[in-house]
A and B are shown apart, each in its own frame.
Chain A
Amino acid sequence: MTDRSRLRLVVLQVLVLSLLLTLLGRLWFLQILTGDQYQSEASKNSVRSVVTTAVRGQILDDQGRSFVRNRTTLVVTLDRTVLERMKTAKEMGVLNALGRRLSTRTAKVTGEELLGRIQLCGEKGAPKPPVCWSGSPFQPIPVAKDVPPSVALGIMERGEDFPGVAADFEAIREYPYPSKANAAHLLGYIGPASGEEVSASQSTDRPLYASDQVGKAGLEAEYDQYLRGAPGVKKVAIDYGGRVTGTVSETPATPGDNIVTNIDATVQKALEDQLLAAIARARGQYDKNTRKNYVADSASGIILDVNTGRVVALASVPTYDPSIWIGGATAKEYSSLTSDASGQPLSFRALAGRYAPGSTFKVISASAMLDHGYSTVGPYECPPSYNVGSSVYGNFEGEAFGKITLKKAIEVSCDTVFYKVAFGQWIADGGLKPSQPKDIVVNEALAWGVAKKTGIDLPAEATGSILTRKDRYDTWVANRATYCSRAQNGYPEIAKTDRNRALQLQAFARDNCAPSGGAYKAGDAVNFIIGQGDTLFTPIKMAQLYAAIANGGTLWQPQVAKAVLGPDGSLVKRFTPKSEGRLPISASTLAFLQDALPGVTTDGTGRYPFRGFPLAQVPIAAKTGTAEVLGKQTTGWFASYGPANAAKGAPKYAIVMMVSQGGTGALTSGQSVNDLYRALLGIKGASVPNPKLSILSGGVLPVGLPVFAYDGRILPPGSKAPVPPVRTLGPSGSSSPSGPGPSGSSPAVAEPAIGAALGFGSARRSRASPL
């Protein structure tokens, strides 16, 4: 061998060694340094989750009546992974046999149809959606719903003839309409979890699966975490082709908890009826301003327990039938829920609607006055109209009452008394050239929290608003260009139909185009003090404020939910009243309001609807409001609480009702509020209240919680839990006294027997039924 050969052999040796060391180094890097990452990727690769949906909790009223519960239907499912492993002929044999079993006299089911149902969408030869299966291939695929129990049993008893076929319960929402109450807005609805909801939930302790249904509105959304339960998860190992090779782990589903509400279904129904009655009343009245009857497009009503903030009833009209959501609303149905033509029945106006409060605002105006040195006795001049600069501001229908007290001004709702105060304060604040303005009414309103939410435990609550000096200026800056263009060009599109209105608007635009347009004008202050202008309240806020006047000043958070009960009725959580603060008024001011408001029904604007009511025994504090809305008919309010006498027990209820484009609060809603007090307190004619005549069970709101019986029935609060009959109950041999089934479904007699036959989980088996 030459030296060169030797040298090259050495080079070769070095090369071989370094290549092998490279391999070892890379192996070390992959397996030791970054192995954890690959380990998790390998498990992601080869483990899939099969999810069983948990039975959702019920929503109950204060007496334990179900607003929403579940109905179980029997579903026949096919397991693709089992069928796929069979030879085609055998698979078709199973499907054909199953088809014969599922066929009814009217509808024949063929094996080919079933095959189509279990083919994955997009797979070769698969039928088009929705026939093909668009879900996870590892999930059992439902091929027949609402299957009769006899058919399901027949299939399951011959499991060896039907490999890969299973019968399963599927729970769907059911609305029993207790006392025929609708409560659609309160309850809300459920729908498939969206991609965002799924990804947002991954960091929580109950992450969502794509197959989950979640609450989308109302209580279903607010208490989704409780209602939802935890789905059962079976982790299966799969190979590269997606075939299941084994089970890695299995967790059974945990049923959701039940929500007990403060709502009383009977009162809710009464309120819903009274809203319709108020609308009918409004539509029967002629509106002189628009020269047509009132449109009364919508109405909202709230009944609160003034001492706790509990919501006894809460409704808006127009509403809809909540059953529309069962199985998912169609696109057409959904558009009918949201279109203007149908009045947007999906919108929960009691929370989300914002309306000018009109004279109901005067409790705030009067408080501002009293806390800033105005006297209660006055006297205050109540002329038919009041001049502010060149503008004339009149009373409703030009009424005049001469020299009156502030109490009388509240009772008869004399606007001109307040106009004078507002104008005086505006001048005192410096008029158009303000210097350190006090803005006593605006600041009073802010202190009452009118621009804050009530904190009610329902989603989609809107926030009210008022116009401050700063808002006035900011809005003007933003809109000035438009005003100036309108000042120049006018409103030709409106002039075509209403020449006078177009001229008014043009004058208004000219004012706003001027350099001083952004100033807080006397007109702003004058409008503000009587709840006009740009002030907007949600109905729920109005109810919260009047309840606070009733209870001595506490702003309770309105609470719909009373408690969370587990699937077996055990207490999970009880919601205690929560204070959101106090009214910013002195004791004497509060006493004034509590004294003045009952006068509204005896001697003031609310007298007409409350004639015949035993006000001497049961005073009702109230304030009417009729707010003008630009381009629309007036909004009528009736805000009240009662009984308003300290002698015969503290006030119990606050009732607020309002009708959009519904005329005056007194004529439209007053009678309905009257009827509701009669129903709640048990008043017939002019007689004294009799709790036995109240629509409330026992005449009072229940303190306790509904009781769950061993057989799944839910009994009213205070009931003694019935003892199960002592009897031998077949193989399981016992029935747990505190262990009713999780489903809360209608007591289908055959269900437990089938449940056992189908091998249901432990939670279900515990629901042994005396059969």
Chain B
Amino acid sequence: MTSGYPSAATGLGSRGRSLASRAIDRESVLRRLDWVLVVASMALLAIGTMLVWSATKQKELDLGHDPQGFLRKHLINISLGLVLGAMTALFDYRSLRAYAPFVYVASVLGLIAVLAPGIGSTINGAHSWIQLPAGFSIQPSEFAKVALCVALPMLLAERRDAETEPRLKDVGTALGVALVPITLIMLQPDLGTTIVIGVIILGVLAVASTPSRWIVSLLLLGSAGAGMAIKLGVLKDYQVNRFAAFANPDLDPQGAGYNVRQATIAIGSGRLSGTGLFKGSQTNGKFVPEQQTDFVFTVAGEELGFVGAGLIIVLLGVVLWRAMRIAVRAEDLFGTLMATGIVCWFTFQAFENIGMTLGIMPVTGVPLPLVSYGGSSMFATMMALGLLQNVHMRRSS
């Protein structure tokens, strides 16, 4: 740890000054936040809220439920997420090293709990949720992403002087640490999250200056592993079917290809300006399944058109641009790698989620960061944004 930076704790600790003067103080937390990132994130949250509402209103009405039920829960999720994000931003990330093992172990325990009979519950074939009272549920695999975004950089940033690349032992340890949650998530099975974590690992290793040959070997190993998984039948039929449907959407328009087909129709029919919020026939007709979570982008495509859907992509671009800027300007390698992991996470999820609704990626269940409905995903995303702000605030200006 180096010294000579203004600590957030200092800001909090300076007593006797007015709240206002503290807020505009050069050293204050508020002044040091990346406001572009904040605004872009808040805009995505706002758009996402409207989309979740539109996607669920008619469905809940038809079921005789409260049409604002999902909207309300989504707003609660956002509020809780903001609190979690703020907390993550405030504690100096460098002190996180001390907590990292606990975060990691906690998430692994969560993943084990999901698999334990009687605790976990199955949604859409994946055994990924822990049901909580009042209709809430937790998806531990989302928190595993946060844990790995902290744990991997911690292991790989520990360098001795003059070392330019991580030692084999460090890389091995990092992979070993990652392998535990990956295995547990694959057992659920949750293909989407598995790939997200794989991408995080690759990204962090790459930016940590790991030699190219190791990364290439890792990629080959991963591909071979995927091949074996299909051959040995580790993947469920529905997962293989989704890939087949991706390759040929007309294969089974009522079955595996149905979601993709309906998603594409919804988006395409939106044209330039969309049908207007709450007015999409595909959305109101519930032709696209899982529309408030994995297929939330189709609501934007149909009801907001190219203008609205394009804005979401642009806003995600702004978030990723700020995150990469934070990675480049971070005070230390740990901060850089942490930001890199988050960039890889968000990028892959955004590309996979939107790409599958546009028919250019196979269907796997990953949420669209900041937009999709889902508590765990929301919390994890907000914590990740908190980490980014944390790194941003603690660089020397």
Contacts and interface: CB of A to CB of B under 8 A. Distances in A.
Interface string B261-294: 0101111111110000000011011110000000
Given A8-B209, A23-B313, A35-B271, A239 B285 contact: yes
A46 B309 CA distance: 22
Contacts of B203: 12
A335 interface: no
Contact of A41 (B164, B265, B314, B320): B265
Given A1-B336, A31-B309, A20 B209 contact: no
Contact of B165 (A2, A45, A243): A2
Given A26-B358, A32-B306, A8 B313 contact: no
B281 A43 contact: yes
Interface string B190-203: 00000000000001
A28 interface: yes
B62 interface: yes
B281 A9 contact: no
Given A1-B333, A9-B340, A20 B268 contact: no
Contacts of B340: 9, 12
A720 interface: no
Contacts of B360: 22, 26
A23 B355 contact: yes
Nearest to B317: A20
A13 B164 CA distance: 22
B45 interface: no
A5 B359 CA distance: 34
A259 B98 CA distance: 96
Contacts of A23: 313, 350-351, 354-355, 358
Q: How large is the interface on B (under 10, 10 to 19, 20 to 34, 35 or more residues)?
A: 35 or more
Contact of B207 (A12, A27, A245): A12
B306 A9 contact: no
Given A12-B203, A30-B267, A20 B320 contact: yes
Nearest to B289: A240
A39 interface: yes
Interface string A15-42: 1110110111011101110111111011
Nearest to A24: B313
Interface string B351-364: 10011001110000
A241 interface: yes
A141 to B, nearest CB: 22
Interface SS of chain A: helix
Interface string A227-239: 0000000000111
Nearest to B305: A31
B327 interface: yes
Interface string B157-194: 00000001100000000000000000000000000000
B71 interface: no
Interface residues of A, number: 43
B272 A32 contact: yes
B369 interface: no
Contact of A38 (B269, B306, B328, B351): B269
A5 B265 CA distance: 42
Given A31-B301, A41-B265, A239 B286 contact: yes
A46 B306 contact: no
Contacts of B208: 5
B113 interface: no
A28 to B, nearest CB: 7
B298 to A, nearest CB: 11
Contacts of B268: 30-31, 34-35, 37-39, 41-42
Contact of B271 (A12, A39, A43, A240): A39
Contacts of B333: 1, 5
A332 interface: no
A13 B207 CA distance: 11
B239 interface: no
A240 B285 contact: yes
Contacts of A288: none
A4 interface: yes
Contact of A27 (B206, B282, B351, B358): B358
Interface SS of chain B: helix
Contacts of A5: 207-209, 333, 336
B148 interface: no
Contacts of B271: 31-32, 35-36, 39
Contact of A42 (B207, B265, B314): B265
Contacts of A20: 313, 316-317, 320, 350-351
B285 A46 contact: yes
A638 to B, nearest CB: 67
A27 B62 contact: no
Contacts of B313: 20, 23-24, 27
Interface in B333-373: 333, 336, 340, 343-344, 347, 350-351, 354-355, 358-360
A34 B271 CA distance: 8
B324 interface: yes
Contacts of A42: 265-266, 268-269, 281-282, 302
B275 to A, nearest CB: 9
Nearest to B300: A27
B310 interface: yes
A45 B285 CA distance: 9
Interface string B295-324: 000000110011001100110110010001
A240 B286 contact: yes
A512 B282 CA distance: 74
Given A4-B209, A31-B271, A243-B62, A9 B328 contact: yes
A715 to B, nearest CB: 52
Nearest to B346: A16
Contacts of A47: 281
Q: Which of A11, A16, A41 has the most CB of B within 10 A?
A: A16
A625 B355 CA distance: 84
A12 B347 CA distance: 10
Contacts of A16: 317, 320, 324, 343, 347
27 contacts: A1-B333, A2-B164, A4-B164, A12-B324, A13-B324, A16-B320, A19-B350, A20-B320, A22-B355, A23-B350, A23-B351, A23-B354, A26-B359, A26-B360, A27-B301, A31-B268, A31-B301, A31-B305, A31-B309, A35-B272, A39-B269, A45-B281, A46-B282, A239-B58, A239-B286, A241-B286, A245-B284
Given A27-B309, A30-B358, 6 more contacts: A1-B333, A2-B209, A16-B347, A31-B272, A42-B265, A46-B285
The 10 closest A-B CB pairs, nearest first, are: A38-B268, A42-B269, A35-B271, A239-B285, A46-B281, A39-B269, A4-B209, A31-B306, A38-B269, A30-B268
